[in-house]
Amino acid sequence: MASNHVSNTLGEIVLVGGGGHALVVAEACRASGGRVFGVYDDDERCEAAREPDGAEWLGPLLSAGELARPWILSLGDLGMRARVIQRLGPHTPDAQRVVHPAAVIASTASVARGVFVGPLALVHSRAAIGVHAIINSAAIVEHDCTIGENAHLAPRSVLGGGVRIGPGTLVGLGAVVLPGLTVGAGCVVGAGAVVRRHVPDGSRVVGVPATPID
């Protein structure tokens, strides 16, 4: 886990993934005074490369194993992110945090390498964000929460105090997890769901209250 200090100052950075999520990450980089050096994606004409000030295409995703610059995963798909993490190594020192300047990170929170925190997101006191997690736009992570590696909190999702989110789990748009609960590894919490009980590993839950689906 990274130290508690989170800097909003960036230099040049490489995006690994060039789709819609990459546009959001690139915007946060620019807002923080950084510059996107280039992008790895399987599509040479990916969205990040087609922007008016788009990033130079550097090659397909799995050619990103010899990165020599700070980088961040900018893929939205958690399965593909996991495959790239396995190739690149989750704890490489070159993995870069990108925190939008309109986000709020408590001084006692801990944000690991490779994490993206979007605009208007809040990471509150003593929360711990694991490597390569996504805390997307306007998501709220209350005090003492723990977010696992490569988890994704979608825009406007809310975690009450002391919630634990397992690695590789997606908490969907506008979903709510009540205080003190655990959502296991590899889970999906559907958009707008309200989680009122612990969620076992590998579960998919939807609705109010959230219930499992096949």
**From CA 22, how far away is CA 85, in angstroms rounded?**
16
**From CA 179, how far away is CA 13, in angstroms rounded?**
36
Q: Fill in the amino acid letter for 129.
A: I
Residues in the chain: 214
Tokens 């993206």 identify what position? 116
Q: For residue 90, with 0-12 CB atoms within 10 Å meaning exposed, 13-18 middle and 19 or more buried, which class applies?
A: middle
Q: Which of 5, 143, 152, 198 is catalytic?
A: 143
Q: For residue 95, which of 63, 55, 64, 124 has the smallest C-alpha distance?
A: 64
Catalytic site includes residue 143: yes
Residues taking part in catalysis: 143
